[in-house]
Chain A
Amino acid sequence: MPSEEELYQEHILDHYEDPFHRGHLAGATHAHEDKNPLCGDVVRIELALGDDGKINNVYFDGQGCVISQASASMLIEAMHGKTLDDVKRFSAEDMLKLYGPRLTPNRQKCCLLSWKVLQAAVHSPVEPAEKTKT
């Protein structure tokens, strides 16, 4: 069983308290939101996908446990500037590796929420009405 020190490593708490691109992305082309109703974790990801398939910008927002929110920040930071193909190639296993500490199956769900949301977001174009609103 992983110890608490391993689970809440300093760089993870850093991401939790000082997240990368937390907030709203004006002019997002794609967005998706999902939650884990069992624990109430919510993550929304908004991104601007260029014609060349590059993620020009990406933001996340949400609420929930440290793992769900810190992992979202780490994922968004890693995928910023990457291509659609890079996102598709980025597996659940890669996500768990990016997070670092070994997680029990229950807490893996927290860690993989943002990964699931990002995989869905790149296929979820923002409706024109919604886009102009932003």
Chain B
Amino acid sequence: MSTIETAAVDRTALLPASLRDDFPILSEQVGDRQPLVFFDNAASTQRPRQVIDAISGVYERTYANVHRGIHTLSELSTEQYERARTKVQQFIGAARFHEIVFTQGTTASINTVARSWGDARLRPGDEVLLSVMEHHSNLVPWQQAAARTGAVLQHVPLTGDGRLDMDAFDRLLTERTKLVAVVAVSNTLGTINPIVEIIAKAHAAGALVLVDAAQSAPHLPIDVQALDVDFLAFSGHKMLGPSGVGVLYGKETLLEAMPPFLGGGSMINEVRLDRFTPAALPAKFEAGTPPIVPAIGLGAAIDYLEDIGLGAIHRHELQLTRHAYAALSQIEGLRLLGPAPEHRTGLVSFAFERIHAHEFAQVLNDQFGVAVRAGHHCTQPLHALLGIAASTRASFYLYNTIEEVDRLVEGVLAVTRMFAPKGRQRKRRKPDE
């Protein structure tokens, strides 16, 4: 690391490394028996013992289907499942319990809005305003909705440093705009978008707003009432919870007016052979057996996060991000994607002129034990705009340390040396080849 100089880290802003002891998986080894450095948190985080115990506790003592029986276990499971809903409600500051719909994840939440609200409300020529930094999960459902309804998609472009171009947003927001669907934090650039401003302007123009909070809910406090957001979607597995559960928040009046999307058990009030009446919220949008244990696990994850505090988590991540950003920006040929650290959450993505992201991910894993993401991170249009096929992303969370960031930087430097041109020559089979 002789060539890299970094500014002093504000150690007082860091969380205690002792909380790592809560995460059993962090003592695993990967690659060539390296201690695991887990930097793929934007894809999915790890779970603390408290969440794992909550999950296994349900299976060991209280599990049954919910809302079904009057037997003891069904009542216990129902009570725990609905208590998790209350925790989510408080976590995002929703006014009403039944505005919280449990889904399979952010993707399912957004698809529910696109299929239910979109199909019922969008007319030919109506516009849905997205951004070019959307995850495929907040792009493809709207492409499908546009194909079904004749609505038109518009996309807010980026500034040079990877933030939303709000001048363009102002131009693209018109009386034709029925919905603004935008990501709160970019999963590729880490950019924190000006959601408050977007919601205020969209409402002034008569449009609703859906916020994809998959990358913000784990890192930044949310208050849906203060934001006055119409729909909000996020996933449990990106915030220490299990996979298989997500949340759709919607304002009561909107959810009430929307037709159910998936049909089946639980979402009905009364069924005849030829018709049904839907159940009240939130069951109306929870067809079939819901993600019972994942939702209870998410409740435990929220307890854990609130114990530490999202503000403290964000301050911790900002130190890691600044440290990584300062060090990586000194590596010649390395292009950091996205804005300066103060405009982003805890992740850094980069591309390197000669070396494909796969090489970084492979060697970082095998030689350094560092798990990063290599590829397009489900943002192909954004990568096309940036003129790159793939990027390497290191995303941090509360259990990561400055020393782990140093390990990443050390590994990145090693990769650049390893794949530097060395005048290698292929063995010729014949002299003239």
Contact = CB atoms under 8 A, between A and B. Distances in A.
Given A17-B421, A63-B389, A110-B358, A40 B376 contact: yes
Interface in A17-38: 17-20, 37-38
Contacts of A7: 362, 366
Given A15-B426, A66-B419, A4 B389 contact: no
Contact of A4 (B366, B375, B426): B366
> Which size bracket describes the interface of B in this complex?
20 to 34
Given A15-B426, A17-B424, A38-B375, A64 B363 contact: no
A66 B32 CA distance: 20
Given A4-B363, A20-B426, A40 B389 contact: yes
Interface in A72-87: 73, 77
Contacts of A112: none
A129 interface: no
A77 B429 contact: yes
A40 B366 contact: no
Given A19-B426, A37-B380, A3 B358 contact: no
A73 B425 CA distance: 13
Given A14-B427, A63-B389, A39 B418 contact: no
Nearest to A2: B366
Interface string A95-119: 0000000000001001000000000
A13 interface: yes
Contact of B389 (A1, A11, A39): A39
B366 A1 contact: yes
A65 interface: yes
Contacts of B423: 17
Question: Interface of chain B, helix or strand or loop or mixed?
Answer: loop
A45 interface: no
Interface string A61-72: 001111100000
Nearest to A15: B426
A101 B272 CA distance: 62
Nearest to A3: B32
A17 B424 CA distance: 6
Given A18-B425, A38-B375, A38-B376, A66 B357 contact: no
Contact of A20 (B363, B389, B433): B433
B82 interface: no
A26 B23 CA distance: 59
Nearest to A13: B424
A67 B358 contact: yes
B31 interface: yes
B65 interface: no
Interface in B327-376: 356-359, 362-363, 366-367, 374-376
Contacts of B367: 4
Contacts, number: 80
Contacts of B374: 39
A40 B390 contact: yes
B380 A107 contact: no
A7 B418 CA distance: 13
Interface in B238-285: none
A8 B418 contact: yes
B422 interface: yes
Interface string A47-73: 000000000000000011111000001
Give the interface centre of A4, A7, A10, A67 by most chain B CB atoms within 10 Å: A4
Contact of B362 (A10, A40, A42, A107): A107
Contacts of B389: 39-42, 63-64
Contacts of A3: 31-32, 366
A77 B363 CA distance: 27
Contacts of A11: 426-427
B366 A66 contact: no
Contact of B356 (A13, A15, A37, A65): A65
Interface in B357-405: 357-359, 362-363, 366-367, 374-376, 380, 383, 388-390
Nearest to B356: A65
A10 B418 CA distance: 11
Contacts of B419: 13, 66
Given A3-B32, A38-B375, A73 B426 contact: yes
B200 to A, nearest CB: 37
A18 B424 contact: yes
A20 B430 CA distance: 12
Contacts of A4: 31-32, 362-363, 366-367
A74 to B, nearest CB: 9
A114 to B, nearest CB: 15
A11 B433 CA distance: 16
A63 B357 CA distance: 12
12 contacts: A3-B366, A4-B366, A4-B367, A7-B362, A8-B418, A14-B426, A20-B426, A39-B358, A40-B389, A64-B389, A65-B357, A66-B358
Closest 5 CB pairs of A and B: A40-B389, A65-B356, A65-B358, A4-B366, A17-B424
Given A73-B426, A77-B429, 11 more contacts: A1-B30, A3-B366, A7-B366, A14-B427, A17-B422, A17-B425, A37-B376, A40-B383, A66-B359, A66-B419, A67-B358
